Chain A
Amino acid sequence: MRDEVELSIVGPEGVPLRFPAATIGERAMALGLDLLILFLALLSVGIGLVAMGAFTGLVSFLGLALIAAFLIQHGYFIFFETHWQGATPGKRLLKIKVISRDGGGLRTDAIIARNLMRDVELFLPLAIVGAPEQVFGDAPWWMLLPTILWLLAMMLLPFFAKERTRVGDLVGGTLVVRIPHAELVRDEAARTSLVPDAPDTRDALAFTLAQLEHYGERELEALADLMRKHEQGKASAEDLRVVARTIAQKIGFGGPLPTSEPARFLRTFYKQQRAHLERKLLFGRRKSSKFDG
């Protein structure tokens, strides 16, 4: 399985939004669950109606069973995706959803289109595996071969498509995404409403503009990561000390502070470095790393 695929759509507000694409495994599991539910629904409705037919002696129940089976098989996905905001029970359990690739709302016609394609993508190949003579009759090999190759190519499409789309997604103009998980961690440069007891960073320690000219965004992010790890206990005080001393040396900061209080030194440096970079950014100068001019 490949790594995360990121899908980008432009919402009605004109701002690009990014979603992680649902993996093929997640989609397969959702489909498996849905097919199981579908099968059980067909079975119980079928048995129920046939039993009622046998009980009352009315043949009409058989006709009703035929129609019910058709409606359940073709309506299941369409019903849930329209009523549960782009998710069938299987998709809901796996926390994935159908969205419209054009960024607009997910409309019913897109849902119908993507689900009608299941006929040739899924049910037809299943029927061929189950009872080939029923599907093909006595068709000659030169018709069989392209048909089977074509069906195979359609089934395998999600493995090759850039956005992991199946044929139904192409015809419906849809994508299947994982619902993003949003968690706001505390800001390393501030005491925020989330962490009222964050260390006070209002202090006399001040870096000169020249000292803040060395590093760029990438180093800043690495520093934030290190401080976060330290708070979670994944980085020791010694790690902080090494980094603090390296920075002090590079920017020409004298004094014992980097060695004696590396945490305070780093936090203050981080805050002022970020303020400096953001100020520069406002004037249109982005410094992405220390190698950036």
Chain B
Amino acid sequence: MSATRQPRSVAFRKEREGQWFELDRLTDKALRQGLKSLDAAELHRLPVLYRACIASLSVARRTAMDQTLIAYLEALAGRAYLAVYGSRRSTRGALRRALFEEFPRRVRALGGELALSTGLLTLGAVVAWTLMNLEPGWYDAFVNPALAGGRDPYASTETLRSALYDGADHGEALGVFASFLFVHNARIGLMCFALGFAAGIPTAILLFTNGLMLGAFLHLYHSRGLLFELVGWLLPHGVPEIGAVILCGAAGLHIGRAMLLPGRRKVRDSLARAGRHSAIVVAGAVVLFAIAGLVEGIFRQAVTDDTARYALAGFNLLWFFAWLFVAGRAGARRGVEARGVEARGVELRGAGVRDA
């Protein structure tokens, strides 16, 4: 063989340069103005060119001696990857699927954490109740006076009762109060998630102290013979609100567990998996907080009849459990099938790529 022939990488580059430049142009456009700026033909062309570029890159890495060529292909492939896989464009019905299929499915997958979260909240309530049975003065230790608004052991029974039924005439101010409560609760819920990163310990403490507050309230009204009325007042908005607190707690505990007990995965991978899983749960919980805020601001003080309140509570329990524990089961099966098809598709495409 004569030594004067062109290096193979020269021919390799000559054959493919045109495609690379075309990919470069499309990538540039997509990165600058978004995928939306590409027309149908270009959108079709982009992944084809991208895969050809990936194939060129892996061939060049193995056989080419021209470092500038390899560096160029590395950069081009990276840019094209960002354009192609940057983020998924939203499809029709994505929000509906996220809320009614993805969210409940992920909640159900958190079985153990949900139980633990509920348990911690209940434990707090039981502890507060027991201690207050011994000494009612414990109330001050459990309930933040700013949130109690005068509802404490030193108030008369009449004051406590009126706190449950008055306020219908405040009208508009209630809306502001509801917004305030929504924002306040949602912030605490998001915090529950983020604090899961400290091995879940602050999340557990937060759940427990919220339970203490709840137990203290229940005991206070129980001691005045107003428990039935309090529960009627509490449940309509309490179902979505306490439910959302439990969900956020479970999400935080899930992250904590992923750090402490990563199982066979690396801690990094386990953490990222748990974080993504919990993120959707928390996002759904924020929606629940918003619903609770609406119920609290609009219905609670306007509906003062105990029977109506219990009816509303029952209705809320019904949709709450239907949403979290029934919705999306059919979608789950469809999703599995769709993923199977996708995986096979990737395999086929992989087998189809040939280069040099």
Q: Footprint of B on A, CB under 8 Å? A: 11-15, 17-19, 58-60, 62-64, 66-67, 69-70, 74, 81-82, 84-86, 97, 99-102, 104-114, 116-117, 119-121, 124, 150, 154, 167, 170-173, 177, 179-185, 187-190, 192-194, 205-209, 212, 217, 220-221, 224, 271-272, 274-279, 281-282
- Cβ < 8 Å to A, chain B residues 163-208: 172-173, 175-180, 182-183, 186-187, 190-191, 193-195, 197-198
If A13-B51, A17-B78, A107-B276 touch, does A192 touch B17 (CB 8 Å cutoff)?
Answer: yes
Give the complex CA separation of A217 and B280 in angstroms: 51
State whether A274 touches B9 (Cβ < 8 A): yes
B48 at the A interface (CB under 8 A):
no
Q: Is A187 touching B87 in the complex (CB atoms < 8 A)?
A: no
B10 engages A187 (CB within 8 Å): yes
Contact A220:B65 (CB < 8 A) given known A106-B87, A187-B13: yes
Q: Mark B1-37, 1 if CB is under 8 A from A, else 0.
A: 1111111111001100110100010000001001100
How many residue pairs at the A-B interface have CB separations less than 8 Å?
243
Cβ 8 A contact of B3, one of A17, A173, A206: A206
Given contacts A101-B272, A171-B272, A274-B66, contact A70 B186 (CB under 8 A): yes
* Interface: B44 (CB within 8 A): no
* The one of B1, B54, B183 that contacts A70, using a Cβ cutoff of 8 Å: B183
Residue from B35, B51, B65, B279 within 8 A of A281 (CB atoms): B65
Known contacts A99-B82, A104-B85; A187/B193 CB under 8 A: no
- Closest CB of chain A to B8's CB: distance in Å? 5
Query: Is B334 an interface residue when CB atoms closer than 8 A count as contact?
Result: no
Per the bound structure, the CA–CA distance linking A267 and B172 in Å amounts to 84
Is B156 an interface position by the 8 A CB rule?
A: no
Among residues 131 to 179 in chain B, which have CB atoms less than 8 Å away from a CB atom of chain A? 172-173, 175-179
Q: Which B residues are closer than 8 A to A by beta carbons?
A: 1-10, 13-14, 17-18, 20, 24, 31, 34-35, 51, 54, 57-58, 62-69, 72, 74-79, 81-83, 85-88, 90, 98, 172-173, 175-180, 182-183, 186-187, 190-191, 193-195, 197-198, 255, 268-269, 271-280, 282-283, 346, 350, 353
B78→A189 contact, CB < 8 A: no
Cα separation A84 to B75 with both chains bound (whole Å)? 21
Residues of B within 8 A of A116 (CB): 190, 193-194, 279, 282
Can you list 27 residue pairs at the A/B interface with Cβ under 8 Å? A11-B54, A15-B54, A59-B172, A60-B172, A67-B183, A82-B87, A105-B85, A105-B88, A107-B88, A108-B98, A111-B87, A112-B283, A116-B194, A119-B190, A120-B197, A170-B275, A171-B271, A173-B276, A179-B79, A187-B66, A189-B9, A190-B7, A192-B17, A193-B17, A206-B4, A272-B4, A282-B8
Once the chains bind, are B276 and A277 in contact (CB under 8 Å)?
no
Please tell me if the beta carbons of A67 and B179 are within 8 angstroms of each other in the complex.
Answer: yes
**Which A residues touch B272, using CB under 8 A?**
101-102, 110, 113, 170-173
| Bound form: Cα–Cα A120–B191 in Å | 7
Residues of A within 8 A of B7 (CB): 189-190, 271, 274-275, 278
The reply to whether A224 and B66 contact each other, CB–CB distance below 8 Å, is yes
B86–A85 CB distance below 8 A: yes
In the complex, what residues of A have CB within 8 A of residue B51's CB?
A: 13
- Distance (whole angstroms) from the CB of A91 to the closest CB of chain B: 12
- Docked CA distance A124–B350 (Å): 47
Output the least CB separation between A79 and chain B (Å).
12
Query: Would you call B65 and A278 a contact (CB within 8 A)?
Result: yes
Indicate if the CB atoms of B17 and A171 lie closer than 8 Å: no
Name the distance in Å between A221's Cβ and chain B's nearest Cβ.
5
A112 touches B279 (CB 8 A): yes
Asked if A185 and B277 sit within 8 Å, CB to CB, the answer is no
Known: A13-B54, A66-B183. A112 touches B87 (CB 8 A): no
Contacts of B191 in A (CB 8 A): 119-120, 124
What residues of chain B lie closer than 8 Å to A100, measured between beta carbons? Answer: 85
Chain A residue nearest in CB terms to B280: A109
Q: Considering only CB atoms, which chain A residue lies closest to B272 in the complex?
A: A173
Q: At the interface, is chain B mostly helix, strand, loop or mixed?
A: helix
- Residue in B85, B176, B273, B346 whose CB lies within 8 Å of A62: B176
Given A173-B273, A187-B13: A17 and B77 interface contact (C-beta under 8 Å): yes
Chain B residues within 8 Å of A193, by CB: 14, 17-18
Report which of B9, B81, B180, B187 forms a contact with A17, defined as CB distance below 8 A.
B81
Whether the Cβ atoms of B66 and A13 lie closer than 8 Å is no
Interface centre among B31, B74, B272, B353 (most CB of A within 10 A): B272
Name the CB-closest residue of A to B271.
Answer: A170
- The distance from the CB of A269 to the nearest CB of chain B, in whole angstroms, is 10
Q: Which residue of A lies closest to B268 (CB)?
A: A170
B180 touches A182 (CB 8 A): no
* Chain B residue with Cβ nearest A61: B176
In the assembled complex, which residues on chain A have CB atoms less than 8 Å from the CB atom of B2? 206
In angstroms, Cα B196 to Cα A171, docked, is: 10
Q: Do B74 and A180 have beta carbons less than 8 Å apart?
A: yes
Which of B8, B68, B187, B346 has most A Cβ within 10 Å? B68
Shortest CB distance B183–A (Å)? 5
Q: Report the bound CA distance from A182 to B27 in whole Å.
A: 11
Q: How far is the CA of A188 from the CA of B18 in the complex (A)?
A: 18
Q: How far is the CA of A206 from the CA of B259 in the complex (A)?
A: 64
Nearest chain A CB to B31 CB, angstrom units: 7
Given contacts A63-B175, A181-B75, contact A172 B85 (CB under 8 A): no
Contact A281 B63 (CB under 8 A): yes
Would you give the shortest CB distance from A135 to chain B, in whole angstroms? Answer: 11
B275 engages A182 (CB within 8 Å):
no
Cα A205 to Cα B3 with chains together (Å)? 10
List of A residues within 8 angstroms of B186 by Cβ: 70
Q: Check B8 against A182 for contact (C-beta < 8 Å).
A: no
User: Smallest Cβ distance from B189 to chain A, in angstroms?
Assistant: 10
- A112 CA to B74 CA in the complex, in Å? 30
CA distance A188 to B13 in the complex (A): 12
